[in-house]
Structure 1
Amino acid sequence: MAVATPAAHAAATTLVLDAQENYYLPTKGEGPNLDLGITASGGDALDVSVAVDASSLAGKATMVVTGDCVSTGTLKVRCDKGVMLLVQDSEGVSLARDRSNCHYSGRPGGGAWCRFDTPVTPGAAYETDAPLRYTASKDTMYGYNTYMVWPVGAAAPDSFDPYDFPETGTGAPLGLKPVASGSTFTGSGYGTFSTTQHADYQALGDTVEGKAGETVSITVGVRNNGPGWMNFRWMDAANSGTFVVTPPPGTTITGAPGPGEQGDPGPLWNCTPGKAGAKSYTCAIASTDFRPGDSVSQEFTVRIDGVVPGAQGSVRAVNNPEYPNRDDDTANDTTAITVKATGSATSSPTPSASAPTPATVSPSGSGTGTTSGTTTGGHLAATGSHQVLLRAGAAVLLAAGGALVLLTARRFRPRGGR
């Protein structure tokens, strides 16, 4: 092994090469890395290179050249100056393998590392002399890429392993060119991109079916019909959009179903506002990996206050304005929540200023107690004109006798043992 430095630095600087005295290879298979260390004393050493000549082992061993070195012949390498660039990408894009000084990953989104022998000046800024070219898959809508730069011979990122990039590119090498420096130039970075692909959101409705006075459950939501994949789980987004739920006239949303018999905590409440009796609810499509065919839903408990002929509610899909789905089929963005109710026809009640309110009925149908302003047991805080009607009814029944209060409470208990 030979260590060479420019003559201008030889008199002032002492270099010490640290290498193991014996290097053992197995009779078959891959051996350990050969680690070399260089220290300098008495001054800075510039343009240092290490030449490794193992040509006497020809026919007995092979040598794998890593990112810090270049081959100079059979079982000969030279480790010299330069800059390393590592780029990694999100799933759904493929980096063109067209640069001979770059080594490419064998897996999607793995990216590549490139070595540049271009001399660089401390404090100067550079960029590649040509853009990196990518091909996006058909369903790709959003993605990201990252890059890291470090000097050849310096410590590489912990995540970097040259063996993860087994394929060498073809074609002209990628180069560097100097540019005006600025605050936007750093040794590492992160960028996002979008394509022109779209995703068709379809609203999913349901039917409120039961008798007047009953509390039933419905499930509504949104499906991604594709062809686009809303994939930005590594970006600064909380969801892939929302859907707005408006209950039909004559009904009141009271919350989400409670725990099941096996201790199931029940569906998560992912909607606002967190109260019963609201005119509408906005629910998040709480996924930033919303693939074609995926759907997001929310289960509601709905009380049938009375029969309103022809009553319909709605479910409407809304995109995230920061990461739009660019839906070009708006006909299925909204769908109906229909009602099949039996009982006496009624109209939506109007609160009365003189209605007595000495007692209330809990939305959970327990028959006792008063409602609170917090969500408990899967139900929401009770508000709105329908709750005023319940309070007035309970007061009249209390005047007639306690047994009727218990009977009324049971009428509002959800079906199916919930």
Structure 2
Amino acid sequence: MHHHKRLSRLSRLTSTAVAAAAVATALPIALAPGAYADEPIAPELTVSELSGNQLRPGEVRTDSVTLTNNGTAATDGVTFRLRLTRGLAFTEPVDGCTYSTVGDKIKQALCELDVGIAPGESYTVPVTYKVLKTALMEVVEYGTGRTGEAPGEGYDEAHRRLALNTDSSADLVATGDEAAGKPGGKVVVTPSIRNDGPGWIQNNESDDHPALLVNIPKGTTAVEVPEECKPFGIDGPTGPSEPGHPKYVCQEDDYTLEVGEIEAFAIVLKIDKGRRADTSGEVKATSNYDIEPVYDTDKSNNKAALSIDVR
């Protein structure tokens, strides 16, 4: 019996010694400076911000940004990308840059910089572009990937997006229509919205886009409406296109109006059987929420009539 107790005690001592040894072995590993060896040895680039000053049509904007390496290794060259919306343009071609058009008429320069930016060092990249006469609401995208490769489509400290307004305007114009028909008959009216410039219109910062608000003439019913025309409630569209509503808001799916572009919407109206007098409804160049755009400084041509001659 005594012998058995001695074995048990020895077993307990051995277990304790093994556990202590395991802790002693583990502690130096956990506390050693080598614990940071798992971190990748790589560049970690950031790009400074471009000037956000208001653009002026016709100017050449000359700016620059600074690439800084906050990583643990030098870059093996850097791919720098610059993208401009259609109211902006590149000036003289730069050696090492490839130019193309991507997405929605976006101009792109992809520039291979043969530069090794060491950890803690910086490198300045010139950014030059021209502001066209049609400029209004523009976007500049610029930068690189975190290790110097071409950037993806998202934005971070190495690849930035800058929205810029232009000291300019765009003139929305509403055009109505007139038609003649008999009580109980159908007529087609085609009101439209036009951009007389000088700026092209694409709102990149809001969903408040140019649109034509159409009030259906009293004594008539909209029996066929384009898919681009949605029923309008108190302050915005209420659902998909369908006939029978008193008011519609019409706009193209690309939410864009080039200078001189006309967007027209054909609507079939049925004149009430009991209607004897002429009637009309108003169309208005506005936004899809019926908020008058701030860039439209001439409001004198924003409204027009849909006139129905009942015979």
Into which bin does the TM-score normalised by the smaller protein fall?
0.5 to 0.7
Gaps of 5+ in 2: 1-39, 44-73, 102-106, 233-240
Is this contact kept in 1: 2:180–2:309, CA < 8 A? Answer: yes
Equivalent position of 1:302 in the other structure? 269
Is this contact kept in 2: 1:203–1:223, CA < 8 A? Answer: yes
The letter of the residue matching 2:137 is Y
Equivalent position of 2:149 in the other structure? 156
User: Residue 339 of structure 1: CA displacement?
Assistant: 1.7
User: Residue 338 of structure 1: CA displacement?
Assistant: 0.9
Asked if residue 92 in structure 1 is aligned to residue 87 in structure 2, the reply is yes
Equivalent position of 2:28 in the other structure? none
User: Residue 286 of structure 1: CA displacement?
Assistant: 3.0
* SS across alignment from 1:327: coil
Equivalent position of 2:282 in the other structure? 314
Partners in 1 of 2:280 and 2:261 — Cα distance? Answer: 26
User: What does 1:81-230 align with in structure 2 at a 5 Å threshold?
Assistant: 83-95=78-90, 103-105=96-98, 109-111=107-109, 113=111, 114=113, 116-121=115-120, 132-150=127-145, 156-157=149-150, 186-230=157-201
The letter of the residue matching 2:87 is G
* Cα gap change, 1:207 to 1:316, in 2 (>3 Å): same
Residue 253 of structure 2 is aligned with which of 275, 286, 291?
A: 286
Q: Deviations over 1:77-96 (max 9, x none)?
A: xx985655332323332345
Q: TM-score, normalized by length of structure 2?
A: 0.58
Partners in 1 of 2:167 and 2:288 — Cα distance? Answer: 16
User: Residue 296 of structure 1: CA displacement?
Assistant: 1.4
Equivalent position of 2:23 in the other structure? none
Asked if residue 255 in structure 1 is aligned to residue 224 in structure 2, the reply is yes
- Bigger strand fraction: 2
Equivalent position of 2:68 in the other structure? none
Specify which structure has the bigger relative contact order, considering alpha-carbon pairs within 8 angstroms and separated by 6 or more residues: 2
Q: Deviations over 1:80-116 (max 9, x none)?
A: 85655332323332345599xx744456723353455
Give me the identity figure in percent: 21
* Cα gap change, 1:239 to 1:290, in 2 (>3 Å): farther
Asked if residue 329 in structure 1 is aligned to residue 298 in structure 2, the reply is yes
Residue 246 of structure 1 is aligned with which of 215, 218, 229?
A: 215
Q: TM-score, normalized by length of structure 1?
A: 0.45
Is this contact kept in 2: 1:248–1:313, CA < 8 A? Answer: yes
Extract structure 1 runs of 4+ deviating beyond 6 A. Answer: 44-47, 320-323
Is this contact kept in 1: 2:174–2:304, CA < 8 A? Answer: yes
